[in-house]
């Protein structure tokens, strides 16, 4: 059968460096750090007391108080970015069939904040169980996809993907394939995360995954720097509207870029550490390029997973050199996590948006907070500290997750 072409027609973002796509992109190009001291709770007793939190975001601008009580933050964030993306795409009741539009959503932690709140309340005051009847529908990881469908009446495929920090990238792959196979005309796809809370800061911190640069949080996320000491936990959401090309063209939609392929693999190596030679990453990137019908020498740019962890920031560049050879040194590479922090399950969607805007605008955002080269990392062009104008026709976006999950998404200019 002939596979359909898939294009991106709408974007939405809620991040520590901007509460809309234009605001995020502007700050990304400027190299603004979204990190700072934790304000969501008293973190004074924790090893890591910093995070990349949302700024100036008021859910009451989007929902009434009754609605907010029924939703975990990760669903609130998801609904906000979906609204931006659907409006950006110009989807209306008149120009699409709701039976042929679905939702795939990704999250690594789901409604973990609401779960913690209820458990803590019971532990302190729980002589009589008084759990909310809305606890389960707030916490289950698939509920954001369901809430999106309910709000917009979207009756196509609807589910959640869970692949840790690669969750929303895996969701984008699934949506891409549903459209290519002709099962739907369009998909609302992305991911959200609201996990800056005690259990996650404590858990990630005690496994030594988080930066403890508490006195200088703004420079704590240091992908590929010699003195990196862990990632900065972030929160937020990203959404893309993917659409079948002829359907988008028929309704006169603007097109940001074409999605041409994706690669998925497993390291089959360790529950948290990436494969030291990046074998799974090589496989995922190779698949994405081959499925796109392109050559590795056609790749202009890679938005890396680049978390600022000691091991991961060595294995990914090794994988890039392992696949691309000499061409690796001609690539414009970056890690936007240096600015947004690590949005866990939402990271893949937010970084896919950054990759698409890099193609559209011809500007590669920087990898900020670089001070010293690490001799263990190949000397690639990481776009350190300053954005750069660079014509990009074909680009990759990498996302990896605990458990050894690897996803690589491929986009090209239209």
How far apart are the C-alpha atoms of 377 and 226, rounded to whole Å?
A: 9
How far apart are the C-alpha atoms of 55 and 170, rounded to whole Å?
A: 27
Q: Say if CB 283 and CB 289 are below 8 A apart.
A: no
Q: What are the start-end ranges of the H helices in 20-111?
A: 21-30, 65-69, 73-89
Q: Say if CB 339 and CB 34 are below 8 A apart.
A: yes
How far apart are the C-alpha atoms of 220 and 218, rounded to whole Å?
A: 6
Element (H, E) at 170: helix 167-180
| Axis-axis angle for helices 73-89, 112-125 (nearest 10) | 160
**The one catalytic residue among 305, 370, 405, 408:** 305
Instruction: Give yes or no: 239 in active site.
Output: no
Instruction: Give yes or no: 270 in active site.
Output: no
Supply the DSSP symbol for 5: P
**The one catalytic residue among 160, 165, 194, 408:** 165
Both structure tokens of 6: 């898939």
How far apart are the C-alpha atoms of 222 and 36, rounded to whole Å?
A: 14
Residue matched to tokens 């990881």? 141
How far apart are the C-alpha atoms of 195 and 210, rounded to whole Å?
A: 14
**The one catalytic residue among 247, 275, 301, 342:** 342
Element (H, E) at 102: strand 101-106
Both structure tokens of 139: 């916490």
How far apart are the C-alpha atoms of 16 and 32, rounded to whole Å?
A: 10
> Which 3 state secondary structure label does DSSP give 200?
helix
Instruction: Give yes or no: 40 in active site.
Output: no
**Minimal CA–CA distance to 288: which of 262, 268, 312?**
262
266 exposure class (CB count in 10 Å sphere: 0-12, 13-18, 19+): middle
Both structure tokens of 73: 């933050």
User: Which residues carry out catalysis?
Assistant: 165, 305, 342
């Amino acid at each position: 059968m002939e596979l359909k072409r898939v294009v991106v027609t709408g974007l939405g973002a809620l991040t520590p460096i901007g509460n809309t796509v234009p605001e995020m992109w502007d700050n990304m190009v400027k190299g603004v750090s979204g990190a700072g001291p934790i304000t969501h709770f008293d973190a004074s007793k924790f090893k890591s007391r910093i995070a990349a939190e949302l700024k100036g975001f008021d859910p009451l601008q989007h929902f009434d108080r009754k609605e907010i009580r029924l939703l975990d933050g990760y669903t609130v964030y998801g609904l906000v970015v979906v609204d931006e993306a659907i409006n950006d795409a110009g989807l209306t009741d008149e120009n699409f069939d709701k039976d042929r539009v679905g939702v795939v959503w990704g999250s690594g932690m789901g409604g973990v904040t609401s779960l913690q709140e209820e458990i803590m309340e019971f532990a302190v005051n729980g002589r009589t169980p008084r759990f909310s009847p809305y606890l389960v529908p707030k916490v289950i990881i698939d509920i954001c996809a369901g809430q999106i469908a309910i709000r917009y009446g979207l009756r196509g495929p609807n589910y959640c993907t869970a692949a840790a920090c690669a969750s929303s990238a895996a969701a984008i792959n699934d949506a891409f394939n549903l459209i290519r196979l002709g099962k739907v005309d369009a998909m609302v796809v992305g991911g959200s995360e609201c996990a800056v809370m005690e259990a996650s800061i404590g858990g990630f911190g005690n496994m030594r995954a988080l930066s403890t640069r508490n006195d200088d949080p703004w420079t704590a996320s240091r992908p590929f720097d010699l003195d990196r000491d862990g990632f900065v936990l972030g929160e937020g959401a990203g959404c893309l509207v993917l659409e079948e090309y002829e359907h988008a063209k028929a309704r006169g939609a603007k097109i940001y870029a074409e999605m041409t392929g994706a690669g998925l693999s497993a390291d089959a190596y360790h529950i948290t550490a990436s494969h030291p030679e990046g074998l799974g990453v090589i496989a995922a990137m190779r698949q994405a390029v081959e499925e796109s019908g392109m050559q590795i020498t056609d790749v202009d740019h890679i938005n890396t997973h680049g978390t600022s962890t000691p091991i991961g920031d060595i294995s990914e560049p090794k994988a890039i050199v392992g696949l691309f050879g000499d061409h690796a040194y001609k690539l414009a590479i970056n890690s936007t996590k240096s600015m947004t922090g690590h949005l866990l399950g939402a990271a893949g969607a937010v970084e896919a948006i950054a990759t698409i805007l890099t193609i559209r605008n011809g500007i590669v955002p920087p990898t900020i907070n670089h001070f010293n080269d690490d001799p263990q990392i190949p000397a690639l062009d990481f776009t350190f500290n300053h954005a750069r104008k660079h014509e990009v026709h074909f680009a990759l976006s990498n996302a990896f997750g605990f458990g050894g999950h690897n996803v690589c998404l491929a986009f090209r200019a239209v």
